[in-house]
Amino acid sequence: MIFCSTIFGMRTRWTASRWAAAVALGVGLASTGCGYHTAGTAVELPQNIHTIAIPAFVSRSQTFRIEQLLTDAVVREFNVRTQYHVIHDTNGDADAVLKATVLSASATPLAYDSQTGRAASALITVSIQVSLTDRQGKVLFENPSYLFHDQYELSRDLPSFFEEDSPAVDRLSRDFARTLVANILEAY
């Protein structure tokens, strides 16, 4: 009888200590935070920033219109996610200017068709340099080396030749815009 109650007592103590450890771990995690904030919390640049000029991005790559697609995606993302007034003219009354340069854009085969030896899919890679400065030229945000990738399939049917590289660049542009705007807002 004593043996059973001793075993039962050990189980009770072990379960209680497990609960205590779990509660302590939960409280510790909750109190330390993890850098995230709740949805809908306003994260803003310095209070003197109300208007952001986003001139057309510059491209050093040979990829057709990539700088236009990236610029349009960033402007759209700022308009959708923030209350900042976005303009294109850097000579106007902008409180800050966002400039970006597409350093490179390339497509590399990823997989090959075993029957024909042709590439079946490719990976597009874009490297972008970005800076956001205020009226006085103070750098508010800078990233000299954004690197984005997107995969796309190459058509196997030559008569209905349709490449997916344009939709891949569109997806990549949207991903870049979401990441850039989030990074700028999270910096503050």
Q: What is the pLDDT of residue 110?
A: 86
Instruction: Determine contact, residues 59/102, Cβ cutoff 8 Å.
Output: yes
Concatenate the DSSP letters of all residues of 148-160 into one string: EEEEEEPPS-GGG
Look up tokens 């306003």; give the residue.
42
For the chain (188 residues), the mean pLDDT of every run of 10, in chain order, is 43 51 49 40 73 95 90 96 90 90 91 82 92 93 92 66 68 94 87
Q: Cα–Cα distances in Å, from 20 out to 8, 139, 156, 184? A: 18, 48, 61, 41
Q: What is the pLDDT, as a whole number, of residue 24?
A: 52
pTM of the model: 0.70
